[in-house]
Structure 1
Amino acid sequence: MTMPERPDQPRVSVTRRLPPMIEARMTELFHTDLSLDDAPMDRTALAGAMAECDVLVPTITDRIDADLIAGAGEKLKLIANFGNGVDHIDLKAARARGIIVTNTPGVLTDDTADMAMALLLAVPRRLAEGERLVRSGTWTGWKPTGMLGRRISGKTLGIVGMGRIGQAIALRARGFGLSIRYHNRHRLPDVVERAVGATFDPDLQTLLEFSDFVSLNCPHNAETHHMIDAARLAQMKPDACLINIARGELVDESALIDALESGTIAGAGLDVYAHEPAVDPRLLALENAVLIPHMASATVEAREATGDKVIANIQMWADGHRPHDQVLEGWV
């Protein structure tokens, strides 16, 4: 849906349906081309939008690669991403064309951390299995050996990626009696480590060997692609559980399935997948995997806050200022 021309305002192309209040505000402020349906744009549609707009508002489902950026119109000067992660955008190509890229940091932290804790509880306590058992109509009642899971208090949580979300998970996990270890590109200041009660592991192998639960919370890039592969899974405890709410590409999914099938690790809680929305049928068949549909940040509050940041970034750029949330070189 295209709104009437506003010559004094930038033309903004939005690739997916956004919360109604965000779409309404965008159409008030900008000449906005909204998506009529909620299907991802194909490559031809993306190229067409990028040829005509001043500002593109993509989401994680849109792969903005170097070829698309090279074919963009001269007017395109801002890619205002709806979301925090920008691994679906070729930042180097955007910089070469003088296109600013912004994201929306901070608005998803609490909701994503909450879901990480939900998965951390669901996997060892077999919540999804129990729910399926009740719905199947085959449950025969309580018994001392029925649906035995694993206690989480007194165990160790290893956090890979100790940014905003990692720290929020650590604070929540302490309330459940977990000890916290973390692995990060850079060690946190002492004051932050004390605040979240975390111990730094400079070597990922050490964290994997000592952790009962491992939570992945880092961006996807060349360095982190398949950072959890067969060799890394073999370094984990046999009764350990892997939680991934970050990006599916962080994990070698085939190796993870093999590890879950063979008992190399005890379980996994996944919100993201290597080829989503497609999910490997072997993964779907596993009882020791809790699978949810990329919904860690899916709250009304988070989506509206994300939209507010997108609008603020566009307005600051349109007013001739550097957007607060510009993604700078080396972000990933």
Structure 2
Amino acid sequence: MSTSVIVTRKLPESVEERMRQLFDVTLNAADRPMTQAELVEAVRHARVLVPTITDRIDAAVLAQAGPDLGLIANYGNGTDNIDVEAAAARKILVTNTPGVLTEDTADMTMAMILALPRRIVEGTRVIEEGGFTGWAPTWMMGNRVWGKRIGIVGMGRIGAAVAKRAKAFGMSVHYHNRRPAAASIAEPLGATYWASLDQMLARMDFVTIHCPQTPATFHLLSGRRLALMKQGAILVNLARGDIVDEDALIRLIEDGHLAGAGLDVFTNEPEVNPKLVKLARSGKALLLPHMGSATKEGRIDMGDKVIINIRVFMDGHRPPDLVLSQPPVHRPLSA
């Protein structure tokens, strides 16, 4: 029996080669995003679809799925690009690739936390533009990270990994979750739990976002909440763009209330608000093109997880990274 696997984007060569060995696979050599019509064609003919976060697999697409489609093996940590409930209604399993990007994303978060207050990108630009004329006592002064407070929104795997790095840099670790983290995680970090997100935001020097995107976390960092942040605080977001009210964030940086923001994700990605680009040019924002998890090792590990999920499914067993077919009702992190 034919084993039809359709992959929507180009993956690391070693992952694609392993797929060629194991499956009857159709790869995307052009590495351009599929159109909606092409996604519909793919779900009509695939037994397994391997999409990425740039592919919108909504109810309209799934309504046209062929009878053989049994698994959507998402190449990504989240599944907000897939209508999981619509898939479940059609008895289509959905898997993702959790855990493999934790350290990479935490590294990039810490890099942003260091880069913004120490003006690293600005300093690089001065050299590139030939503006360095010699050291001076009051030139290019930034702000110290050591001793500052960091507030982590979402103390899951990535949030905890960021907390470990922040503690190593002498920062005071604080976090907000729906419930306190396990003592085995929080106590070694000396992490302080805040039941109220509002109260935590008002006291932090840095705020980093590491919660999933759900209907409940849309604009979790609303204009009202962003305005609660300390004068001169910095926001870092490597989760999803829609968790933050981007327009309000821009206004608060322009007004001088916030010192800046480090963003790897955006509201209308891949489009980036020109006002954010302007802030970046003035040293008040650090913008990255969704590269927080972009390491060779991480992307290969993601592919390995996809392959394992497909093989287990093909063998008639429950894939290890199965997303709940009936997701629990998502409560906001903070009311």
TM-score class normalised by the smaller sequence: over 0.9
SS in 2 for 1:144: coil
User: Are 2:97 and 1:100 equivalent residues in the alignment?
Assistant: no
Task: Write the distance in 2 (CA, Å) between the matches of 1:271 and 1:107.
Answer: 18
The 8 Å contact of residues 176 and 196 in structure 2, kept in 1 or not, is answered as yes
> Aligned equivalents of 1:316 and 1:272: distance in 2?
33
CA distance in 2, matches of 1:311, 1:84: 14
Quote how far apart the aligned CAs of 1:191 are: 2.3
Displacement after TM superposition at 1:10 (Å) = 2.3
Within 1, Cα distance between the matches of 2:84 and 2:145? 40
Out of 321, 325, 332, the residue aligned to residue 325 of structure 1 is 321
- How far apart, CA to CA, are the structure 2 residues paired with 1:198 and 1:310? 34
The offset of 1:263, in angstroms, is: 1.0
Mapped to 2, the partners of 1:235 and 1:90 lie a distance apart of 34
Residue 254 of structure 1: aligned partner: 247
Distance in 2 of aligned mates of 1:26 and 1:158? 41
Give the drift of 1:139. 2.7
Quick one: distance in 2 between partners of 1:195 and 1:72? 49
Structure 2 unaligned residues grouped into runs of 5+: 331-335
- Give yes or no for the alignment of 1:170 onto 2:152: no
Deviation at 1:283, TM superposition (A): 0.4
- Does residue 139 of structure 2 align to residue 142 of structure 1? no
Q: By how many angstroms is 1:140 displaced? A: 2.7
* Partners of 2:233 and 2:134 in 1: CA distance: 28
2:73 counterpart of 1:80: yes
| Cross-structure match for 1:4 | none
Q: Per-residue deviation at 1:134?
A: 1.5
Matched AA of 1:247: R
Partner Cα distance (2:178, 2:95) in 1: 22
Residue 226 (structure 2) pairs with residue 230 (structure 1): no
Corresponding residue number in structure 2 for 1:312 = 308
Residue equivalent to 1:3: none
**Alpha-carbon distance in 1 for matches of 2:96, 2:173:** 29
Does the 8 A contact of 2:46 with 2:66 survive in 1?
A: yes
Q: Distance in 2 between matches of 1:96 and 1:263?
A: 49
- Picking from 18, 24, 47, the partner of 2:11 is 18
Is the contact made by 1:80 and 1:103 (CA closer than 8 Å) also made in structure 2? yes
Structure 1 counterpart of 2:185: 192
User: Match of 1:271?
Assistant: 264
C-alpha distance in 2 between matches for 1:88 and 1:238:
35
Q: Determine the structure 2 residue equivalent to 1:58.
A: 51
Deviation sequence 1:61-116 (CA, Å, 0-9, x none): 00111110111111111000001111111111111111110001110011110000
Q: Higher mean Cα deviation, 138-147 or 245-254?
A: 138-147
Normalization by structure 1: what TM-score? 0.96
Pick from 218, 238, 245: which aligns with 1:245?
A: 238
Letter in 1 for 2:295: T
**1:170–1:197 Cα contact (<8 Å) kept:** no
Is 1:282 equivalent to 2:279 in the alignment? no
Shift of residue 148 of structure 1? 1.3
The two structures have a TM-score, normalised by structure 2, of 0.95
- 1:18 counterpart SS class: coil
**Unaligned regions of 5+ residues in structure 1, if any?**
1-6
| Distance in 2, Cα, partners of 1:232 & 1:150 | 24
* C-alpha distance in 1 between matches for 2:184 and 2:302: 29
The answer to whether the Cα contact below 8 Å between 2:85 and 2:327 also exists between their aligned partners in 1 is: no
Q: Deviations over 1:250-277 (max 9, x none)?
A: 1111111111111121111111111111
1:298 correspondence with 2:294:
yes
Q: Give the superposed CA RMSD.
A: 1.1
Amino acid at match of 1:117: M
The 3-state SS of whatever aligns with 2:320 is coil
Q: CA deviation at 1:141?
A: 2.2
Native 8 Å contact 1:233 1:264 kept in 2? no
Q: Deviations over 1:202-250 (max 9, x none)?
A: 1101110111000000111111111112111110011110000111111
SS of the aligned residue for 1:87 comes to coil
**Cα distance in structure 2, aligned partners of 1:325 and 1:10:** 20
1:294-330 per-position Cα deviation (integer Å, ceiling 9, x unaligned): 1111001000000000000000000011011001133
* Separation (CA, whole Å) in 2 of partners of 1:133 and 1:220: 37
Count of residue pairs brought into register by the alignment: 325
State the one-letter code of the partner of 1:305. D
The one-letter code matched in structure 2 to 1:291 is L
* Match in the other structure for 2:333: none
Deviation at 1:22, TM superposition (A): 0.4
